[in-house]
Amino acid sequence: MRGLDIEAVHAFMLVADLKSFTRAAEAMDSTQSTVSLKIKRLEDGLGRRLLERTPRLVRLSADGAVFLGPARALVAAHQSAVGAFAVEQRRLVVGISHYVVGAELPALLKRMRNAEPGLLIEMRVSGSRDILEDFDRGALDAAIVLRHDGRGRGGEVVLEEKFGWMAAADFEHRPGEPLRLATQTDLCGVRSMAIAALDAAGIPWTEVFVGGGIPTIGAAASAGLAVAALGRRVAPPGTIDVGPRLGLPPLPSREVTLYSSRSDRQTRNSLKALTAAIRATSIHRG
């Protein structure tokens, strides 16, 4: 057998992690057909089927699961060798809204680091308003936030975030009582969006959990103690949109937008990989 094509191995690793040929192609700044061809040639060279493909899902085969660990090690070793004579480590400071961070994202960021060991990603997670202020004053190289207004900032739309009234499936709301909410602080754009929708519909509400970040809000929703306005993509596992059952007004979607102050090729490629990872978190929850 001939030596392995490192780009094909990298493509396989990305498809396995992102569960999508499209997202892997975005991360590699390539096309879906090129990624598919690389992996097909890799499979032919190994004499093994590494991925099971269906119209809606891409998953590892039994042989693919065995190969994934060595593939990661090979890509990491290759990246280490390529960067052996680098003068200094690259640093990329990214601010990201806590409403954008999905449960799978930390693992995907770790894999990005392993695939590009010469890159140090410094991640700052906060509200969109704070992130944009830090970006505008030059404290961040890139910002990934929810867009709540029509201001002409430019930027690249990463995805359309669909919001719902997320709660435990057994959440109980007694007619006549105010709707129990878990929210962020007064300055939160999502809180303002949710409260405006309830007020416009004439639905009384009360805040029973305030602040503490999205994990706290999600915990309150998961425990059946309150309803939280959350993106369906990042809502805790086990929660559902109880809006239709409770007769709550639909919530508008919001654009997740990337802003970057750097335009060099390495940064563009790193941000492509990051946004592909974020898009990939929408595969499992609609």
> If we measure between CA atoms, which residue out of 40, 70, 65, 64 comes closest to residue 50?
64
pLDDT of residue 186: 74
* Whether pLDDT at 272 is above 80: yes
**Structure confidence at residue 73 (pLDDT):** 87
Q: Please compute the mean of the pLDDT values over residues 110-135 and round it to a whole number.
A: 81
Please give the DSSP secondary-structure letter assigned to residue 102.
Answer: -
Mean pLDDT of all residues in 68-96: 80
165 sits in which H/E element = strand 163-168
pLDDT confidence of residue 101: 83
pLDDT at 240: 95
Q: What is the per-residue pLDDT across 212-270, written as a single tens digit (0 to 9) for each? A: 778 889 999 999 999 999 998 889 989 999 999 999 999 999 999 999 998 888 888 88
Q: Where are the domains of the chain?
A: 6-82, 90-159+255-280, 163-252
Separation of alpha carbons 192 and 174, rounded Å: 24
pLDDT over 50 (residue 286): no
Fold entry, domain 163-252: D-Maltodextrin-Binding Protein; domain 2 (3.40.190)
- pLDDT tens string 134-171: 999 999 999 999 987 655 567 899 999 999 999 999 99
Q: In what order do the strands lie in the sheet with 163-168?
A: 228-231, 163-168, 239-241
**Cα torsion through 105, 107, 111, 116, rounded to 10:** 60
- Please check whether the two domains, 90-159+255-280 and 163-252, share a CATH topology: yes
Q: What is the pLDDT of residues 39-58, one digit of tens each?
A: 999 999 999 999 998 777 78
In this predicted structure, the answer to whether residue 116 has a pLDDT above a threshold of 80 is: no
pLDDT at 284: 46
Helices 105-115 & 6-18 angle (0-180, nearest 10): 170
Per-residue pLDDT of 195-208, as tens digits, reads 999 999 999 999 99
272 vs 140 pLDDT, higher one: 140
Per-residue pLDDT at 173:
92
Superfamily of domain covering 90-159+255-280: Periplasmic binding protein-like II (3.40.190.10)
Would you state the pLDDT for residue 41? 92
Half-sphere exposure of 4 (CA within 13 A, CB side): 18
Tell me the CATH number of domain 6-82, given options 3.40.50.1370, 1.10.240.10, 1.10.10.10, 3.30.70.20.
1.10.10.10
- Residue-level pLDDT at 226: 96
**Residue 124 CB neighbour total at 10 angstroms:** 14
Single-letter amino acid, residue 77: A
